[in-house]
């Protein structure tokens, strides 16, 4: 493999990666090349991936992976975006495709909610009532964190649409960075390898490497934290859906009649629409020829499976490091942990008649700040 030493960057980048990264080679795209990962030194692969993650634009709009996935949290929040806009309105994160009108004149949604626009294909049997010929739908979604998930969670994205890290990276390079040069297979493998080294704690890193146990639940120090911990027992209101290494798995003894493991469920975010997002009406043609009309700001997993049971369902989000990854939910509608708990208190009241008192909500928030 030919490499070009980047003295100023302290790494060695494959020549194909350098050509694509710097936009060299005229209009000819670098074609994907099959690379046996076993023949590539892992350290070089990760090093190349780190460079591409931070600096690779692939001839696009200036965005890199790190434009949206900061090293500190793996994502970005409104306060960080507002500071970046004040410092430099031409920061690559501010591009017309994610502006309020698509023309780049204002970025209120991005600055206030840290949501980007995601355009997804509609299932074959689904149309939009407002535009029956449309074959795609555009949604407002938050930016998932790149910490922990790449190495420990096989479900990528809130709707699970990306089958691999490489596929997710390619989709982001196309859809968000608006590339003009095609990433090679090696480059995608390198980005994926680097992302698998990103963790929010040494305990999770050691667990992923097989050199440490699965992190458990901290005991809590204050009375409030200790009371909050009880809710994260497997049979507790929180623990019934938040178990496992990342606290995003349904345990066997969940008491909810749900299958154990990773899953997609409705959190009633789309149904209650706390973020007041634009509502779109879907017309679904059923197998028997009848139609079902559904109004929702985001149908979630349904767009991937076409299964009516997946309407408004999203992956169970991990709770590790949650204190650092606000805003919350797929649409960033909960700006704080307190707002997140207010939503769930409403959900449990609506669905099961279970009351989570203000003190219990405060206890759960106190405990989540330990995770």
- Residue 257's pLDDT is 67
Q: Tell me, yes or no, whether 6 and 46 share the same domain.
A: yes
- Closest among 193, 184, 116 to 150, alpha carbons compared: 193
pTM for this prediction: 0.87
If phi > 0 it is left, if psi is from -120 to 50 it is alpha, else beta; for residue 233 that is beta
More confident residue, 29 or 88: 88
The token duo for 74 is 């793996």
Q: Tell me, yes or no, whether 167 and 251 share the same domain.
A: no
Q: What angle do CA 100, 105, 110 make, to 5 degrees?
A: 40
CB 192: neighbour CB atoms within 10 A? 20
Structurally, how many domains does the chain consist of?
3
The token duo for 295 is 């109004």
Domain membership of residue 104 as a residue range: 78-112
Query: What's 300's DSSP letter?
Result: B
Q: Does pLDDT of 99 surpass 90?
A: yes
Q: Residues 204, 152: contact at Cβ < 8 Å?
A: yes
Q: Tell me, yes or no, whether 257 and 162 share the same domain.
A: no
> With b meaning 16 or more CB within 10 Å and e meaning fewer, what string describes 213-228?
eebeeeebeeebbebb
- Residue 311's pLDDT is 96
Backbone angles phi, psi at 2, to 5 degrees: -75, 130
Rounded to whole angstroms, the Cα distance separating 94 from 73 reads 19
Q: Tell me, yes or no, whether 246 and 322 share the same domain.
A: yes
Q: Does pLDDT of 63 surpass 90?
A: yes
Rounded to whole angstroms, the Cα distance separating 183 from 190 reads 11
Half-sphere exposure of 60 (CA within 13 A, CB side): 26
Q: Tell me, yes or no, whether 42 and 88 share the same domain.
A: no
Q: What percent of the chain has pLDDT over 70?
A: 87
List alpha helices for the chain, DSSP H: 15-22, 42-55, 65-68, 78-87, 108-113, 149-152, 165-175, 185-195, 202-209, 223-230, 269-272, 302-305, 337-352, 358-368
Rounded to whole angstroms, the Cα distance separating 233 from 217 reads 9
| CATH, residue 334 | 1.10.760.10
Rounded to whole angstroms, the Cα distance separating 250 from 167 reads 26
Tell me, yes or no, whether 138 lies in a domain.
no
| CATH, residue 19 | 1.10.760
CA 68 to chain centre: 11
Tell me, yes or no, whether 295 lies in a domain.
no
Q: Does pLDDT of 5 surpass 60?
A: no
Tell me the pLDDT band of 6, cut-offs 50, 70 and 90: very low
121, β-bridge pairs: 136
| Strand 280-285 versus strand 291-296 pairing type | antiparallel
Q: Tell me, yes or no, whether 57 and 101 share the same domain.
A: no
Specify the 3-state DSSP secondary structure of 71.
coil
- Closest among 53, 69, 70 to 11, alpha carbons compared: 53
For residues 345-358, give the mean pLDDT: 92
Per-residue model confidence as pLDDT tens digits over 299-319: 999 999 999 999 999 999 999
Specify the 3-state DSSP secondary structure of 107.
coil
Q: What is the mean pLDDT of the chain?
A: 89
For residues 288-301, give the mean pLDDT: 96
- Residue 43's pLDDT is 87
More confident residue, 80 or 11: 80
Half-sphere exposure of 43 (CA within 13 A, CB side): 1
Tell me, yes or no, whether 297 lies in a domain.
no
Tell me, yes or no, whether 122 lies in a domain.
no
- Residue 259's pLDDT is 73
Rounded to whole angstroms, the Cα distance separating 302 from 270 reads 12
Tell me, yes or no, whether 175 lies in a domain.
yes
Q: In angstroms, how far is the first alpha carbon of the chain from the final one?
A: 43
Query: Out of 7-11, 55-59, 202-206, which region has the weakest mean confidence (pLDDT)?
Result: 7-11
For residues 16-22, give the mean pLDDT: 41
Q: Tell me, yes or no, whether 170 and 258 share the same domain.
A: no
């Amino acid at each position: 493999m030919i490499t070009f030493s980047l003295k100023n960057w302290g790494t060695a980048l494959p020549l194909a990666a350098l050509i694509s990264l710097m936009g060299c080679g005229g209009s000819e795209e670098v074609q994907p090349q099959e690379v046996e990962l076993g023949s590539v030194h892992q350290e070089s692969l990760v090093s190349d991936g780190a460079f591409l993650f931070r600096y690779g634009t692939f001839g696009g709009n200036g965005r890199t992976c790190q434009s949206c996935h900061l090293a500190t949290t793996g994502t970005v929040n409104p306060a960080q975006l507002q500071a970046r806009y004040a410092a430099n309105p031409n920061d690559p994160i501010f591009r017309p495709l994610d502006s309020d009108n698509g023309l780049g004149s204002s970025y209120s949604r991005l600055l206030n909610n840290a949501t980007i626009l995601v355009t997804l294909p509609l299932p074959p049997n689904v149309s939009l009532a407002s535009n029956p010929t449309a074959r795609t739908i555009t949604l407002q979604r938050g930016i998932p964190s790149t910490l922990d998930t790449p190495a420990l969670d096989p479900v990528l994205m809130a709707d699970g649409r990306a089958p691999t890290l490489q596929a997710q990276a390619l989709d982001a390079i196309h859809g968000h960075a608006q590339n003009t040069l095609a990433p090679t297979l090696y480059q995608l493998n390198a980005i994926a390898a680097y992302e698998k080294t990103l963790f929010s704690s040494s305990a999770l890193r050691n667990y992923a490497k097989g050199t440490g146990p699965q992190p458990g639940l901290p005991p809590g120090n204050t009375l409030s934290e200790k009371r909050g911990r009880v809710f994260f027992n497997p049979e507790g209101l929180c623990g019934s859906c938040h178990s496992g290494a990342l606290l995003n798995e349904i345990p066997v003894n969940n008491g909810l009649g749900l299958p154990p493991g990773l899953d997609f469920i409705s959190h009633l975010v789309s149904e209650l629409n706390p973020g007041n997002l634009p509502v779109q009406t879907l017309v679904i043609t059923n197998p028997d020829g009848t139609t079902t009309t559904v109004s929702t700001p985001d149908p979630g997993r349904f767009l991937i499976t076409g299964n009516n049971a997946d309407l408004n369902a999203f992956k169970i989000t991990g709770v590790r490091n949650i204190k650092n990854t606000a805003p919350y939910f797929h649409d960033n509608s909960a700006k704080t942990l307190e707002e997140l708990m207010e939503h769930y208190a409403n959900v449990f009241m609506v669905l099961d008649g279970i009351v989570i008192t203000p003190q219990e909500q405060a206890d759960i928030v106190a405990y989540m700040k330990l995770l």
